[in-house]
Amino acid sequence: MKNLMGKCLALLIVFITAVSIYSFTIEKASLVGEWRGTDNTQKSAVFIFSQDEYLTMIMDGKTMGGKDFEVNGKKVDIKYEVNSIKTPMWLDFVFYLEGKKLEGKTSNGIFRFIDANRIELRMNNTTNTHYDKFDASDKENTIFLTRVNK
């Protein structure tokens, strides 16, 4: 009986791990593509999430990030990380300079799918923590994005 309980527990751990990895992969894959929206100041914003986890942002006509983006002759990359185990799901923008992660330079966000082609994104760029919920009155840190293409 003890051996059976151990096998059941091991199987349960494997199942939970597999579901978590599958869920993470589905959410990240669902995010890949080009998304557009308008921020609270009526400026256009484009977010391009690549399959290899690079993020390119185009804000008010200015491109930032992506892979091998240069600023003052230095390579600056922006990558994104999804944690779909958290509720609400986390979406972080991680900054790299010359291939090294810039500690403390991560924009922490939460997001949710409204449907397959629309998401709500709430970013915290000041305290290095994640919001724990969405807030309809927080227009400054919230943007709604619509998928343009995959």
What are 5-45's pLDDT values in tens digits? 444 444 434 344 444 433 334 455 589 999 999 988 999 99
Nearest Cα neighbor of 71 from 38, 110, 105 is 105
Tens of pLDDT, residues 43-66: 999 999 999 999 999 988 889 888
Domains defined for the chain, CATH in brackets: 2-149 (2.40.128.640)
- 143: pLDDT confidence band, cut at 50, 70 and 90? very high
pLDDT above 90 covers a percentage of the chain that reads 57
Our measurement of the distance from residue 57's CA atom to the centroid of its chain's CA atoms, rounded to an integer in Å, reads 13
Specify the pTM: 0.78
At a CB cut-off of 8 Å and minimum separation 6, what does 39 contact?
45, 59, 143
Residue 108's pLDDT band (cuts 50, 70, 90): very high
